C-alpha cells in the first residue's frame, strides 16, 4: 500500500498580460498563473500526481501558502485510505477544524483544495493506466457516488438518486464512448474576443477561427456599453449570423444594469450572457434570466461559483440556463461530479469553463464524462476552448473540427513539462528573471 511521501507546491505564472490575452472587464491585466502541486509516493513506480488551480498573478502566492498549510493532511497517508473512502478524505480536507475558518469551502482555501484534489485524481488515473474521463466512465456508480460529499445538497440530490441516475445511463454508454472517440467533444472559442484586443486583432482571430472550423465565438463585454456595441457588431460582421456568439461580462454589472445592457446587446443575438453580476447572487441571476430568456438569451455562470451550494441555489432559483463547471474553483473532481449530477437533475446543460492556464486540459475529461455517463445529450452543450499555454503540458489538448479529441494518456492531462515548471516559477524562474531584466515587469 503506497504512502504519500511528499507534496510540493509551486507558484507558476505566465506573462499573458503583455499581450492582453485573457483580459476581461474585471481582470484587465491577468497573468495566467497557477498553484501547482506534485504529490509523490513510496510506490517505486515513478508515478506522481500533478494538479493545479488556476489563478491570475499576485494571488498565486497566497494560494501556494494555503496548499502548503493543508499538506499535513496528506503526507504520510496511505493512498488506499484516500481512494477507498474519498468523500471522507475530501471532507477532512475541507472541514479541518482550524483551516475551515478561512473558507469554508470557498475562496483561497477551496482553490488550494482543488489543486490538491486534482493531483490526487491525476495520480489515481495514472495508477489505473487510464485517462481521467475513462476512469470516471468505467467506475461503478456506487463507487463514483461514494467520492461525493452530499452534505448541504442532499435536499436536492441524495446518494441513492445519484446512483440511480448513473445506473439509468448505463444503457448506451458504450455507443456514446465510441462516438466521443470518433468525433470528439464539441467546443467553442474564447480567444478571439478578449477585451484588451484591438479591432484588427479581433478580426484576424475571427478569420483564423472560421478557417479552422470554429462556429461558436465568445466575446468579452461589460467595460463600456458603446464599446460593447461596436465589438459585438464587428464580430457579427466577421462571423456572420449563422454562427453562434456568446457574451461574457465577468460580473461587471448590477442586476438591473445587466438587464439594461443586454436589452441593448440583444440585437446581436447572443446565445448567453455569462457572469452578468456577482457570482454569489442566485436570486439576481434568476431575475436577469426571467427578463432575458424571452429574448432567446440564456444566463451562463459558474467559473466563480464557489461551491456546490451556490450551484444548487442557482439551479433551484432558475438562475442559469448554462452550467459552467470549473475544474479549479470548486474542490476538484469530487465536487464537480456532484454539480454535473445536480445540473442533469434540473435539465440544465453543462458547458465547462476553460479560460485560464490548464483548464482546457482538465475540462475535456469532465465534459466527456458528463456526456457518456450522465446527460447522454449534446443539446446546447459545448465546452470552452482558449488557445493559450497548452504547449507547457506533457499531454497537450488536441482540437480537431472545433472539438476536443479525447485524451488517451493515463492521468488528468495536468502534468506540465519540467522545463515549464522551472522556467515559469515566480519570481526565480529563468523566464521571469529575463522579463525583470528587460524591464517588462518589476521584480518583487
Cβ neighbours of residue 211 under 8 Å, at least 6 residues apart? none
- Paired residues of 39 in beta bridges: 7, 49
Comparing CB distances to ligand LWAPGFLV, the nearer of 79 and 386 is: 386
One of 15, 22, 186, 358 touching ligand LWAPGFLV (CB under 6 A) = 22
Residue 220 annotated in active site: yes
One of 31, 48, 96, 248 touching Mg ion (CB under 5 A) = 248
- Paired residues of 32 in beta bridges: 56
Judge whether 15 and 31 are in contact, CB under 8 Å. yes
CB of 216 to ligand LWAPGFLV, least distance (A): 13
- Give dist(CA 173, CA 228) in Å, integer: 43
Contact call for residue 302 and ligand LWAPGFLV (CB under 6 A): no
Judge whether 166 and 374 are in contact, CB under 8 Å. yes
User: What backbone phi and psi angles, to 5 degrees, belong to 88?
Assistant: -70, -40
Give the 3-state secondary structure of residue 233. helix
Judge whether 35 and 425 are in contact, CB under 8 Å. no
Contact call for residue 326 and Mg ion (CB under 5 A): no
- Paired residues of 298 in beta bridges: 272
Cell 493545479 locates to 52
Contact call for residue 24 and ligand LWAPGFLV (CB under 6 A): yes
Q: How far is CA 113 from CA 105, 158, 420, in A?
A: 9, 24, 23
Contact call for residue 251 and ligand LWAPGFLV (CB under 6 A): no
From the list Mg ion, ligand LWAPGFLV, none, partner contacted by residue 191 (C-beta under 5 to 8 A by kind) = none
CA nearest neighbour of 351 among 385, 401, 390, 309: 385
Contact call for residue 216 and ligand LWAPGFLV (CB under 6 A): no
**Site mask for ligand LWAPGFLV (CB under 6 A), range 42-61, x = bound:** --------------x-----
One of 228, 238, 248, 326 touching ligand LWAPGFLV (CB under 6 A) = 248
Of 163-171, 244-252, 333-341, 425-433, which segment contacts Mg ion by CB under 5 A? 244-252
Contact call for residue 327 and ligand LWAPGFLV (CB under 6 A): no
Residue 353 annotated in active site: yes
One of 13, 27, 130, 176 touching ligand LWAPGFLV (CB under 6 A) = 27
Which residues contact Mg ion by CB under 5 A?
248, 274
Amino acid at each position: 500500500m503506497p504512502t504519500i511521501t511528499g507534496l510540493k507546491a509551486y507558484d507558476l505564472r505566465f506573462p499573458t498580460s503583455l499581450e492582453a490575452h485573457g483580459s476581461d472587464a474585471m481582470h484587465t491585466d491577468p497573468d495566467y498563473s497557477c498553484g501547482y502541486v506534485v504529490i509523490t509516493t513510496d510506490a517505486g513506480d515513478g508515478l506522481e500526481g500533478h494538479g493545479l488551480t488556476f489563478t491570475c498573478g499576485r494571488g498565486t502566492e497566497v494560494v501556494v501558502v494555503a496548499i502548503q498549510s493543508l499538506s499535513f493532511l496528506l503526507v504520510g497517508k496511505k493512498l488506499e485510505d484516500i481512494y477507498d473512502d474519498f468523500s471522507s478524505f475530501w471532507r477532512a480536507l475541507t472541514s479541518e477544524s482550524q483551516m475551515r475558518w478561512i473558507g469554508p469551502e470557498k475562496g483561497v482555501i477551496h482553490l488550494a483544495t482543488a489543486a490538491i484534489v486534482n493531483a490526487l485524481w491525476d495520480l489515481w488515473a495514472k495508477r489505473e493506466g487510464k485517462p481521467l474521463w475513462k476512469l470516471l466512465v468505467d467506475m461503478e456508480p456506487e463507487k463514483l457516488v461514494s467520492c461525493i460529499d452530499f452534505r448541504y445538497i442532499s435536499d436536492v440530490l441524495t446518494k441513492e438518486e445519484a446512483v440511480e441516475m448513473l445506473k439509468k445511463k448505463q444503457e448506451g454508454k458504450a455507443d456514446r464512448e465510441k462516438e466521443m472517440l470518433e468525433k470528439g467533444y464539441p467546443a467553442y472559442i474564447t480567444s478571439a474576443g478578449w477585451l484588451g484586443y484591438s479591432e484588427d486583432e479581433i478580426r484576424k482571430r475571427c478569420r483564423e477561427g472560421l478557417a479552422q472550423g470554429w462556429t461558436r465565438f465568445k466575446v468579452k463585454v461589460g467595460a463600456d456599453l458603446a464599446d460593447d456595441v461596436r465589438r459585438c457588431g464587428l464580430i457579427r460582421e466577421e462571423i456572420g449570423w449563422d454562427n453562434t456568439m456568446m457574451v461574457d461580462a465577468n460580473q461587471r454589472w448590477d442586476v438591473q444594469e445587466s438587464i439594461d445592457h443586454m436589452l441593448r446587446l440583444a440585437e446581436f443575438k447572443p446565445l448567453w450572457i455569462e457572469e452578468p453580476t456577482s457570482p454569489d447572487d442566485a436570486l439576481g441571476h434568476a431575475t436577469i434570466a426571467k427578463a432575458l430568456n424571452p429574448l432567446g438569451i440564456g444566463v451562463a455562470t459558474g467559473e466563480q461559483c464557489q461551491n456546490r451550494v451556490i450551484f444548487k441555489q442557482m439551479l433551484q432559483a432558475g438562475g442559469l440556463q448554462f452550467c459552467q463547471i470549473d475544474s479549479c474553483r470548486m474542490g476538484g473532481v469530487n465536487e464537480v461530479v456532484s454539480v454535473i449530477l445536480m445540473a442533469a437533475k434540473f435539465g440544465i446543460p453543462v458547458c465547462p469553463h476553460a479560460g485560464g492556464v490548464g483548464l482546457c486540459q482538465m475540462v475535456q475529461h469532465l465534459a466527456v464524462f458528463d456526456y457518456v455517463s450522465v446527460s447522454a445529450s449534446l443539446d446546447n452543450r459545448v465546452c470552452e476552448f482558449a488557445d493559450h499555454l497548452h504547449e507547457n503540458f506533457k499531454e497537450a489538448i488536441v482540437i480537431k473540427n472545433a472539438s476536443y479529441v479525447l485524451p488517451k494518456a493515463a492521468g488528468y492531462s495536468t502534468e506540465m513539462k519540467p522545463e515549464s515548471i522551472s522556467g515559469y516559477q515566480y519570481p526565480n524562474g529563468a523566464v521571469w528573471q529575463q522579463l525583470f531584466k528587460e524591464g517588462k515587469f518589476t521584480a518583487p
